[in-house]
Amino acid sequence: RAQGLFISVEGIDGSGKSTQARLLAEGLAAAGHDVVVTREPGGAPGAEAIRRLLVEGDPARWSAETEILLFNAARRDHLERTIQPALDRGAVVITDRFADSTRVYQGVARANLRPLVDRLHDLVIGIEPDLTFVIDMDARAALARGLARRSGEDRFEELGLGFQEALRAGFLALAQEYPARVQVIDGTRAPDVIAQDMAARVTAHLR
Ligand code: ADP
Ligand code: MG
């Protein structure tokens, strides 16, 4: 399908996804790779417009099912406009969240909608990352980090400790479900130590 390398970074809010996506991109770019770093929901103009529909306004505006449709619409646009063109030219694409976030948020933590999530993914997305990093850490510590940070990037960060713990369990379950793709990263270490660990794992994939 693709000539490039497709990497996703997943994990609970405050686990360090955005930090590590940036550090990984910087390291690979310094080593001479063509690198695209992007994010979900969003990552393309249309997908960012859908993101605004999801994160602005009354959180109860959408049903869980409608939310899944909107996430898939955004992801399809992101794939068409940003991810696939970059992979086709041989780039390394690093996305801060991808389909595993929908599997966990909508499929596990919110309601038992995983079958709908999987069917829609097969219909309209159809690709998985070559490599997924789940940055794992204690939900309480991650939540404290998230709250210490800027506020308002998205409402997924305001859902409380119990929800974050359910998400953490969901991400760890995905690592069991997809052992060839998903690697669990200890997110409690210093940022540069985590970055070195992840870069070494990517290098192994590039060989
Ligand atoms: P996420 O994108 O997963 O929500 P961020 O990368 O935005 O997480 O990190 C959340 C906060 O924690 C930020 O303030 C960031 O600077 C800080 N942070 C990220 N990684 C680490 C780390 N390994 N150790 C300590 N603080 C970190
Ligand atoms: Mg982030």
- Total count of residues recorded for the chain: 207
Compute, in angstroms, the gap from residue 176 CA to the centroid of ligand 2. 24
Exposed/middle/buried for 159, CB within 10 Å: 0-12, 13-18, 19+?
middle
Tokens of 59: 């959180």
From the CA of 19, the nearest ligand is 1
Is the C-beta atom of 22 inside 6 A of ligand 1? no
ipTM over 0.85: yes
Is the C-beta atom of 195 inside 6 A of ligand 1? no
Confidence of residue 101 (pLDDT cuts 50, 70, 90): very high
Task: Please give the model's pTM, rounded to 2 decimal places.
Answer: 0.94
Compute, in angstroms, the gap from residue 14 CA to the centroid of ligand 1. 5
